[in-house]
Amino acid sequence: MARAYAHRGLRLILTARRTDALQLAAEELAPTTEVVAMAGDVGDPAHAERLVRAGLDRFGRIDVLVNNASELGPSPMPELEKLNTQVFAEVLRVNVVGPLKLIQLVLPPMRARRDGLIINVTSDAGVQAYPTWGGYGASKAALEHLSRVLAAELEGSGVRVYVVDPGDMDTAMHRAAEPGIDLSYLPAPASVAPAFVRLLDTDAVAGRFEAQQLVAAAV
Ligand SMILES: NC(=O)c1ccc[n+]([C@@H]2O[C@H](COP(=O)([O-])OP(=O)(O)OC[C@H]3O[C@@H](n4cnc5c(N)ncnc54)[C@H](OP(=O)(O)O)[C@@H]3O)[C@@H](O)[C@H]2O)c1
């Protein structure tokens, strides 16, 4: 997604907890666009403030916020009866509370400019009731409802709120969710990145989108 946005000409603030992959991404994209890479936890309010301050100081404005980072919880995933509630609170901290904090930080300047796009990345597990996916799934359901209420509150503000389900992908998180299963047949994240670019130019003020359908429709 960062690569696709960079090639579209967007300047980027990127974050992840570990510095290695983050630094590699920043180095790869530096010849294409301006990149600020800041390691930290999106569930940490102080890190959220650092990210948004860096965006406003360096670029003068933030056009798009993508809440993509996500916490799965334990692997293998337990049924709800056995889900440690402190672990569940951690899943909610990263997947719901952190995104809301970032939204609260970017909204005032977006409202002032009457322009902005907030994309919250969700999952079909936030809609369908898959056994053992309850902790993560409940966090995505909360993120989706938060997005719906936010969109209602922002009606007429010029700020768009989208929820995007990227669909099944072969990633570290998905492999942790289904340990021992060969997921190499699934698409790579890069294959759905064009959907996130397409949404930059979508007129809808709010909505839930399936990234793989957006990509297929464009072909
Ligand atoms: N993979 C799928 O099949 C699938 C399906 C539906 C929805 N999704 C959604 O798609 C999004 C991306 O998932 P993915 O499968 O690409 O996950 P992933 O492979 O685990 O990648 C997640 C990225 O977020 C970063 N991250 C995780 N927790 C973080 C935190 N607390 N603070 C900052 N950065 C953090 C990770 O880097 P660090 O570990 O270095 O922090 C990594 O760069 C998620 O919202 C997920 O729920 C995925």
Q: Which residues contact 84 (CB under 8 A, 6 or more apart)?
A: 74, 78
pLDDT in tens, 104-153: 999 999 999 999 999 999 999 999 999 999 999 999 999 999 999 999 99
Q: Which residue has the tokens 């009731």?
A: 129
| Separation of CA 16 and ligand 1 centre (Å) | 9
Chain-centroid distance, C-alpha 159: 17
Architecture of the domain defined by 62-218:
3-Layer(aba) Sandwich (3.40)
Identify whether 136 is a catalytic site residue.
yes
Name every protein residue with a CB atom under 6 angstroms from any ligand 1 atom: 15-18, 41-43, 68-71, 94, 121, 123, 165-166, 168-169, 171-174, 189
| Separation of CA 10 and ligand 1 centre (Å) | 21
Q: Which of 119, 143, 108 is nearest to 207 (CA)?
A: 119
Q: Which helix (H) or strand (E) holds 190?
A: none
Domain range annotation of the chain? 62-218
Ligand 1, atom 24, residue with closest C-alpha: 69
| Separation of CA 189 and ligand 1 centre (Å) | 10
Query: Could you tell me the pTM of the whole model?
Result: 0.98
Ligand 1, atom 20, residue with closest C-alpha: 173
pLDDT in tens, 158-182: 999 999 999 999 999 999 999 999 9
